[in-house]
């Protein structure tokens, strides 16, 4: 496997399902996982959550570059912790399996007064997967996210939709972005290892998911 392959999971906002999508892709592809910046909830961080959800012993959950105590925008949370995040200091983990990277919030979340998550994506040079959750306003947020990435020529692999299926919403997003739907997540009552494995198996059985096959080759 090409260990230089990197996938960056971004969302159209906060709490749209980035961690669940990350776990599904780690389980499916056998890539390592890395959350560069964790703001708040350190006892049950996204890294710890992914580790609990996957059923693989051949991947590594890499330590966060920065752990911040408060569940706030990183530029504020880092100041409160007397820390400073600089893009040039963020070191990307070396892997043997490829790397799934989970962002913090959306693209324009600031990591300091000058740099944002989208700048981190540019530095990493990863394929981006956009997670869109169905709610009133999600079309606008989804397409704004896509346009921001497009304006910087950042490659986007496609969309993952989270929530009860809304074909009209999905169609307009897919048509206007000219990007594929990679897979969908339903409204699950509980997210468990079994649920993650179920989605992984469904993706692997899909005959039309050329991107997954390419990333596994």
3-state class of 117 per DSSP?
helix
Catalytic residue among 6, 18, 35, 133: 35
Is residue 83 flagged as an active site residue?
no
Read off the pLDDT of residues 2-27 as tens digits, 9 standing for 90 and up. Answer: 467 999 999 999 999 999 999 999 99
Predicted confidence band at 208 (pLDDT cuts at 50, 70, 90)?
low
Residue 41 neighbours by CB distance under 10 Å: 13
d(CA 187, CA 199): 13
Phi, psi of 156 (to 5 degrees): -120, 125
Dihedral angle sign, alpha carbons of residues 74, 64, 21, 174: positive
Question: For the segment 131-185, what is each residue's pLDDT rounded down to a tens digit?
Answer: 999 999 999 999 999 999 999 999 999 999 999 889 999 999 999 999 999 999 9
**What's the pLDDT at 207?**
60
Measured in degrees and rounded to the nearest 5, phi and psi for residue 201 equal -65, -40
Q: Taking all residues of the chain, what is their mean pLDDT, rounded to a whole number?
A: 94
Contact (CB, 8 A) for 30 and 203: no
Kindly report the pTM of this predicted structure. Answer: 0.94
Q: How confident is the model at residue 1 (pLDDT cuts 50, 70, 90)?
A: very low
Q: Tokens 């993650």 belong to which residue?
A: 196
Quick one: fold of 6-216?
Answer: Rossmann fold (3.40.50)
């Amino acid at each position: 496997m090409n260990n230089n392959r990197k996938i960056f999971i971004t969302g159209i906002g906060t709490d749209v399902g980035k961690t669940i999508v990350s776990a599904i892709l780690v389980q499916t592809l056998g890539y390592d996982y890395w959350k560069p910046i964790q703001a708040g909830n350190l006892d049950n961080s996204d890294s710890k959550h992914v580790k609990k959800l996957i059923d693989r012993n051949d991947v590594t959950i890499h330590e966060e570059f920065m752990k911040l105590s408060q569940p706030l925008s990183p530029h504020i949370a880092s100041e409160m912790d007397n820390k400073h995040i600089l893009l040039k200091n963020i070191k990307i983990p070396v892997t043997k399996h490829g790397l799934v990277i989970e962002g913090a919030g959306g693209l324009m979340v600031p990591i300091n007064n000058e740099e944002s998550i989208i700048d981190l994506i540019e530095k990493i040079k990863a394929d981006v997967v956009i997670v869109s959750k169905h709610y009133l306003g999600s079309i606008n947020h989804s397409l704004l996210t896509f346009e921001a990435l497009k304006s910087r020529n950042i490659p986007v692999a496609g969309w993952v939709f989270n929530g009860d299926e809304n074909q009209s919403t999905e169609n307009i997003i897919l048509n206007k972005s000219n990007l594929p739907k990679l897979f969908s997540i339903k409204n699950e009552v509980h997210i468990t290892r079994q649920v993650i494995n179920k989605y992984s198996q469904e993706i692997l059985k899909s005959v039309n998911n050329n991107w997954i096959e390419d990333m596994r080759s």
